[in-house]
Structure 1
Amino acid sequence: MTEEYHNVNHQNNDYLLDYDNQLNTCCTPQIDNEDDLEFKKKLKNLEKEWYQEMVEKYKNLPWYRRPNRTILFIIVSLYTLSFTVLASPLVILMFNNFCATNQVNNKSSVEKTIHVSTIAAKTIARAFATHSSTETVAIIINTTSSVMEIPKNFIKTNDNMVKSSFTFFSKRMGMNMNGAESICNGIKDSQKTISNIQSILATISGILGFFLSSKFGQLSDRYGRVFIFKVFNVINIFNSIFVIIYFQIIKKYNLILMIIFLSIGYFSGGVMTLISNSAGYVSDIEDKKTRTISIIILMSVIYLALGIGPLISSFIVKITNSNIIILWVSLGLSIISTILTFTLLVESKNPKSLQLANERYNQKYVNNSRSLSSFQFFNIILSFFKPINRLWLPKTQNGSIIPRINVLTLIFVDIIQMSSCMGTMHVLVLYCILKFNWSTIQIGYYMSLLGFCKAFVLLVIAPLIHNLLVLKFNYRVNTQSVDDIDRILILISLIFIFLSILLLVITNNSYIVYLTAILQSLGGIISPIIHSAIVKFSANTESGEIFGVIAVTRHLQMLVFPVFFLQIYSFTVDKFPKLFLLLSLIGSGVSCIISYFGLITSNEMANVDIELEFEESSE
């Protein structure tokens, strides 16, 4: 048995070396590969063998001990919930942390500023109307930014009445440092300060995500998807702990500490990297023809968690009138997700696939680094960028560059639509806090609506449209290149995104913001379609690296556009706060045009797909 295993293993190694040489040849830019079709056949057979081995290995085991989507979706949901519950409370906590500290430090002023609602201010002001004093307490009405002065000696002589009045209104309106509403959300200085802090955090997130996404994708191909999930969860626990330390223990506003403590979670690469690793896991256990639908379901699960998270936080804050408790909820979810990852999640990649990935890595990076030891540091830095070369596809055997054009177009459209949606999210929240006086509860409702609607679109509407195009209109699924189904779904999504931004530009109503969340959700199908379309041009063996490269490009835009829009908003908040929406609208329109003219269905790649399918059926 052992001798037979070694003989088979030796044959597999020879086969892998032969495959490896062909793979390196095929992926060299600007060099025609005369054996492209033959290479695809060998690679397809090899991946099919590995897939069958995994099926045989786990077929007699219980479902929870096999690689499966159910456990993956549960873990991904809990992981996503752990940071989405923080989304809206964290903004309010940042505002309150800044404003409370600055009010305390303003000792030279004879005025003490108390932020209350319009009703509270008017009621208390009427009670103090008959009193006069040179020393007053200013009550700022958030909705109008007007000031009412109250005699300070009246507060001293009527201490009990004042305390009871303020206690009532503070409980009703969340007037405490950790309450539901910001104590300074009407002050534009705080808007500018928090906008700048979020710009810095977005920059850090983009830089770390840019450098780490491709590396995590590469590591997932070499050491497995589960290994990366374990790393993500450990980082997530530390992130929750450090956020609690800052707002619960340190408390006093400190710019440097706030940035450091709120940046810990970015070392996991962010939600883009989570999606990439999850999509890689799904690709390992799903057939190519069902992969698109599986990735759509994965994205719907993530969007569902993105919707439930803010809703949970809004519900808890409304009951407890405290944002701090959400930090502990986040920590609890992180711990549960980590336990499930370490105990139940089973590796999806075949050990031979991991071996191949390590051999290729050693050949491409380690050996080259040794031969150029004097430039070793430069090579280490360069290794973070090398996977991006995978987007520059080689010419086909007939000299066509259609696959290259399609991939670059998909990446460009993905960057623009991400910048129009995710890139403006922080700014839109700040705008709604300023314009419509939104609190944690309203922010939570908006984010929940966005997440729930995207989940519904991906779970229900997207499969219906996909099946309608295939069964009713006879569009054919091409597993090797962009097809008409991809083009139609991408264009429809972009049109809905364009309409959602247009409504925000031309209207001035908080209810319209909720409506635009529904319209934007109808465009949510674009992300899984782009993911599945790009990975069509790669082997399953390297899907982790390809998904990692997609995450890199997304982090690149998240590095640039959120900071860009936040700075635009910071400079224009006094005069034209909607400028960021106008710029986003222009970008969305451009992406519609580019997707219509730039995506080309390739008959040549379709013929390759047909031939491969014919060979498979003849077997």
Structure 2
Amino acid sequence: MDPQAEGSRGRLLQQNQDEGEDQKDRRRESEDIDAIESQSKPLLTPVQTHDSIDVYEGTEEEEPPKDSVKWWKRPSILMLLPPFILYAIALGAAAVPRVNLVLTLVCQDYLNRKEREVNNGDFTPIKLVIGVDNPECEIPEIGAKAATFTLYMNIITGILSAMTSPRLGQYSDRIGRRKLLIFGSLGACLSDATLILCLKYSDHLSYWWLLLASTFEGMVGAFTLILAVVHSYASDCTTFAKRSSAFSLFHGCLFFGIAVGPAIGGFVIEKTNDIAVVFCGVIAIHGLFISYILFFLPESLSKEKMKLAKEKFAEERRKSADSSTWLSSFMKIVNVFEPLNVLWPKEGGNLTKLRANMVLLAAIDFIMFGVGFGSITVILLYSKVEFHWTTKFASYYTSFVNASRVIGLFVILPTLTKFFRRKPPPGTPAGGCDYLDTLIIRGALTTEVLGTLFFVAARDTPLFMAGGIVASFGGLGSPTIQSSLTKHSPSEKTGQLLGVIALLHSLARVIGPTVFNGIYSKTAKTYPQAVFIVLVALFMVAWLGAWFITPHVAVDGVGDEAVERLFAEERGELDESEPLVGRN
């Protein structure tokens, strides 16, 4: 071969190799920039979202351009808050009538069976007034049957929701948040319509048809999926620094609805003497919610974001199909716990710390939600037996505790975020949760422990109520935990991640009531405070776990040295003479 030609060929190969290295460097630099910008910009991109509407994308310090679209056409948490408040009120308004409906229908069936046995099948069906107190139903046998049937309803809803929530959450990353919000609300409408049918035709339909309402509710993921999709929408619209405040607003609205809704429902029943009116009103609210989402709420995900999520999902499916058999593929579909893999990332840097943080945060949230949901019934039963609370006084206590929680979420958490959260220096990569997040989580768990200890020690109403108020400020933990989790995951997996949290919440709403009601029933005669000691032990486990959360873990493993600098700066260990990260 000609030496000159061979030399030219070698130079050409070297040039191509250099160009390849340059492309890799540019791609790596682009990934670093994307990760850095996620600290100061929302997850929205400066591209078209839907219906050819341009969405402004800017930093917190920048002002939108004069020719930007109108504010009502831009995705914002303020656009979603009003309909979500209505949804929360509807959720609260239906809670007490639903329990009353179950108790009365079970009681009616029980009394009819007894009447049939006494008269050898010749009897006139008993028609109880649903929505008022029926003295005939205040016997242990009926109470036990109603409690067991309510547990069946919770199990069906919880299991189905656990199966559907993570997949629907992941689906929202590919088709947008609005469609999933509409789908979830339609399922709630079907559930409430089934309750109305069972109420109106109780002579022809057994109360076991109420399980169909639980089935409809579980198939759409129940309220846990709605909350997860709402949080996904908020994640799309907010920066890392403001995400916990955004989540706290939605949690505050949820507890506000739970506090105000029952009072509205009770007022309607008192004026109409018809419990069906409440469920019809709830369906009407869902109709307003769906109409608002359909015609007014802008989509938070851009077409490019959804396209990227679809491409990554298709790539994962191809890899899975290449390396698995039909049996393993089928098992992945039916395996409820398979979506939990999102908490155990397989790529990127800092995998050990990243995985530990995600698992710890999810476990702490599971404990807090499970204890909170599962202990409600126990607390009300305990107070009625030990302190002889009336239903009216118990309602006041519930409203008071929820009001304290709302104050914490609407006032305390946003104030802490505004005055104590430091802006990341220019050039800092996306670094997971920060010191303020970890302090809020530990503080929330501390108040839960103290409040529950008050329950153990209380022998009168004032101390018991004080325990409830102290424990209510533990509500600051859940939005902070969930926002922290989103900081450990790529933006295209936000819906999938929060869908997994909905899965854990669905399991918790089954496990929590079953365990705590069982403990209380076994110890009510000997030592009724035993269940609260178990609650303290669980909160202490979560509190200890919170101390192993590592702040500033880079999401994609980029810029680890910059993260360590920020870590040292917050501890006051950074030499002030050195230039800040990212400044040239």
Change (3 A) 1:443 1:234: farther
Amino acid at match of 2:471: Q
Aligned position for 1:74: 82
Aligned position for 1:334: 286
Does residue 351 in structure 1 map to residue 303 in structure 2? yes
Q: What is the CA–CA distance in structure 2 between the aligned matches of 1:256 and 1:218, rounded to whole Å? A: 33
Change (3 A) 1:386 1:363: farther
Per the normalisation by structure 1, the TM-score is: 0.74
Q: What is the CA–CA distance in structure 2 between the aligned matches of 1:257 and 1:439, rounded to whole Å? A: 31
Change (3 A) 1:331 1:434: farther
SS at the partner of 1:524? helix
Quick check: 507-516 or 409-418, which moved more? 507-516
Superposition pairs for residues 230-241 of structure 1, below 5 Å?
230-241=182-193
Contact 2:165 2:225 in 1 (8 A): yes
SS at the partner of 2:444? helix
Superposition pairs for residues 409-448 of structure 1, below 5 Å?
409-432=360-383, 441-442=392-393, 444-448=395-399
Q: What is the CA–CA distance in structure 1 between the aligned matches of 2:43 and 2:297, rounded to whole Å? A: 23
Q: What is the CA–CA distance in structure 2 between the aligned matches of 1:249 and 1:440, rounded to whole Å? A: 29
Q: Which residue, out of 500, 521, 538, partners 1:587?
A: 538
Does residue 90 in structure 1 map to residue 87 in structure 2? no
Amino acid at match of 1:278: V
Instruction: Report the count of equivalent residues.
Output: 518
Q: What is the CA–CA distance in structure 2 between the aligned matches of 1:516 and 1:314, rounded to whole Å? A: 27
Contact 1:311 1:445 in 2 (8 A): no
Contact 2:184 2:225 in 1 (8 A): no
SS at the partner of 1:51? coil
Q: What is the CA–CA distance in structure 1 between the aligned matches of 2:473 and 2:80, rounded to whole Å? A: 25
Change (3 A) 1:61 1:516: same
Q: What is the CA–CA distance in structure 1 between the aligned matches of 2:510 and 2:29, rounded to whole Å? A: 39
Contact 1:73 1:298 in 2 (8 A): yes
Q: Which residue, out of 527, 550, 560, partners 2:501?
A: 550
**How many Å apart are 1:373 and its aligned residue?**
6.9
**How many Å apart are 1:587 and its aligned residue?**
1.2
Quick check: 585-594 or 214-223, which moved more? 585-594
**How many Å apart are 1:422 and its aligned residue?**
1.3
Q: Which residue, out of 161, 164, 175, partners 1:223?
A: 175
Amino acid at match of 1:585: V
Contact 2:93 2:261 in 1 (8 A): yes
Contact 1:277 1:544 in 2 (8 A): yes
Contact 2:88 2:254 in 1 (8 A): yes
Amino acid at match of 2:47: E
Q: Which residue, out of 235, 238, 243, partners 1:291?
A: 243
Does residue 599 in structure 1 map to residue 549 in structure 2? yes
Superposition pairs for residues 399-410 of structure 1, below 5 Å?
401-410=352-361
Contact 2:167 2:499 in 1 (8 A): yes
Q: Which residue, out of 42, 45, 56, partners 1:51?
A: 45
Per the normalisation by structure 2, the TM-score is: 0.78
Q: What is the CA–CA distance in structure 1 between the aligned matches of 2:194 and 2:385, rounded to whole Å? A: 29
Contact 2:35 2:429 in 1 (8 A): no
Aligned position for 2:14: none
Q: What is the CA–CA distance in structure 2 between the aligned matches of 1:396 and 1:85, rounded to whole Å? A: 46
Does residue 309 in structure 1 map to residue 261 in structure 2? yes
* Unpaired segments ≥5 residues, structure 2: 1-19, 57-67, 120-126, 568-578
Aligned position for 1:198: 150
Quick check: 75-84 or 437-446, which moved more? 437-446
**How many Å apart are 1:294 and its aligned residue?**
1.6
Quick check: 338-347 or 521-530, which moved more? 338-347
Q: What is the CA–CA distance in structure 1 between the aligned matches of 2:478 and 2:536, rounded to whole Å? A: 19
Aligned position for 1:11: none
Q: Which residue, out of 261, 277, 284, partners 2:229?
A: 277
Q: What is the CA–CA distance in structure 1 between the aligned matches of 2:277 and 2:292, rounded to whole Å? A: 23
Contact 1:481 1:601 in 2 (8 A): yes
Q: What is the CA–CA distance in structure 1 between the aligned matches of 2:43 and 2:461, rounded to whole Å? A: 56
Change (3 A) 1:606 1:444: farther
* Unpaired segments ≥5 residues, structure 1: 1-17, 23-34, 112-174
Contact 1:203 1:563 in 2 (8 A): no
**How many Å apart are 1:315 and its aligned residue?**
3.0
Q: What is the CA–CA distance in structure 2 between the aligned matches of 1:348 and 1:297, rounded to whole Å? A: 18
Contact 1:406 1:599 in 2 (8 A): yes
Change (3 A) 1:176 1:391: same
**How many Å apart are 1:222 and its aligned residue?**
0.6
Contact 2:448 2:539 in 1 (8 A): yes
Query: Identity over the aligned pairs, expressed in percent?
Result: 20
SS at the partner of 1:107? helix
